[in-house]
Amino acid sequence: MTGADGTAGRVPDDLRELAPAYALGALDEADRERFEHALRGSPELRAEVDAFRAAASGLGEAVPPVAPPARLKADLFARLDDVEQERAEPDASAEAGGTTQVPAREEPAPEAETPAPETAAPAAAHDELAARRGRGRTGRRGLALILASAAAVALIAAGAIVGLNWSGPNGWGAQREMAALAEASDAQQTTATVSGGGEVTLVSSADQGRSAIIAEGLPDVGDDQTYELWYIDDAGIVSAGTFDVRGDETWRLLEGEFAPGVAVGITVEPAGGSPQPTSDPVALLET
Task: Name the residues that contact other proteins, by CB under 8 A.
Answer: 17, 20-21, 23-29, 31, 47-48, 50-69, 72-73, 75-77, 79-80, 83-89, 93-95, 97-98, 108-111, 114, 118, 121-122, 125, 129, 185, 207
13 or 234: whose CB is closer to other proteins?
A: 13
43 or 256: whose CB is closer to other proteins?
A: 43
69 or 236: whose CB is closer to other proteins?
A: 69
Rg of the chain over all Cα atoms, to the nearest angstrom: 20
Smallest distance, other proteins to C-beta of residue 82, A: 8
Smallest distance, other proteins to C-beta of residue 188, A: 16
Rounded Cα gap, residues 141 and 162, in angstroms: 29
Smallest distance, other proteins to C-beta of residue 69, A: 7
114 or 165: whose CB is closer to other proteins?
A: 114
CA 260, 125, 108, 159 torsion: positive or negative?
negative
φ, ψ (nearest 5 deg) of residue 83: -110, 125
Query: Looking at residue 105, what DSSP letter applies?
Result: T
115-132 and 172-183 are packed helices; what angle lies between their axes, rounded to 10 degrees? 10
Smallest distance, other proteins to C-beta of residue 103, A: 16
Smallest distance, other proteins to C-beta of residue 97, A: 4
53 or 141: whose CB is closer to other proteins?
A: 53
Strand-by-strand arrangement of the 188-193 sheet: 188-193, 199-205, 210-216, 251-253
47 or 145: whose CB is closer to other proteins?
A: 47
Other C-beta atoms closer than 10 Å to the C-beta of 94 total: 10
Rounded Cα gap, residues 102 and 105, in angstroms: 5
Find the DSSP H helices in the chain.
4-8, 13-16, 19-24, 29-40, 43-61, 70-79, 109-113, 115-132, 140-159, 172-183
Smallest distance, other proteins to C-beta of residue 108, A: 3
Smallest distance, other proteins to C-beta of residue 67, A: 5
55 or 160: whose CB is closer to other proteins?
A: 55
Helix (H, G, I), strand (E, B) or coil at 13: helix
